[in-house]
Amino acid sequence: EPEVTQTPSHQVTQMGQEVILRCVPISNHLYFYWYRQILGQKVEFLVSFYNNEISEKSEIFDDQFSVERPDGSNFTLKIRSTKLEDSAMYFCASSESDGETQYFGPGTRLLVL
Amino acid sequence: GDSVTQMEGPVTLSEEAFLTINCTYTATGYPSLFWYVQYPGEGLQLLLKATKADDKGSNKGFEATYRKETTSFHLEKGSVQVSDSAVYFCALIRNQAGTALIFGKGTTLSVSS
């Protein structure tokens, strides 16, 4: 069964450093998403991406964040200058079309020290 | 804004007990409703969904019915197993009005033998 994959599974970084989280969505899916889950809190939407453009973003997704689809398979989330409060589990998801079921990857646990 | 409210956990049950996890929502229009499950150390997996009023989603013995009149989507299972121990998230997506999944805070279920 096709699945969303994410790398790395864990990342530790120093405050102020840039990090790039990588995702490979399901191959025939056209919509891609990033969510985050701070420990003990709810899963929060960050951004959705379609046709090489951001289609929706939350207020969390400020200028420190960016997304990119650098090739036909990868989808990345970049945090330009990490803050302590960026420590969270980051989930990538994909769906075939708008409003359809979103399938999630296993997540990347980011720890900012 | 749109939101999802779940009963507070943790929920602790013995094997073969009946499970109900309450979920209510606030949304404009007619959202699609989902239950996702997160097993320890893993990502989010879709458990079941319903896209319109009175629809019943079901999977692996779990059921939930989309009740528009009470804006609810309660999760039920007649006989839980130890392997059902996980965190359960209720979520909605606003049809024709965005792509973000809006999650509840999650309910932790612990089943003992």
Query: pLDDT of B74-113, one tens digit each?
Result: 999 999 999 999 999 999 987 655 678 999 999 999 999 9
Mean pLDDT over each residue of chain A, to the nearest integer: 93
What local confidence, expressed as pLDDT, does residue B96 receive?
58
With contact defined as beta carbons under 8 Å apart, do A9 and A109 qualify?
yes
Contacts of B102 in chain A (CB under 8 A): 45
Alpha carbons B70 and B24: distance in angstroms, whole number: 8
Q: In B, which residues are within 8 Å of A109 by CB distance? A: none
Average pLDDT over residues A22-32: 93
Distance of CA A83 to the CA centre of its chain: 16
Mean of pLDDT values over B45-73: 95
- Return the residue in A101, A103, A108 with the most chain B beta carbons within 10 A, the one to mutate for interface testing: A101
Which residue in the set A41, A56, A91 is minimally distant from B100, CB to CB? A56
Contact at CB, B44 and A42, closer than 8 angstroms = no
Confidence of residue A18 (pLDDT cuts 50, 70, 90): very high
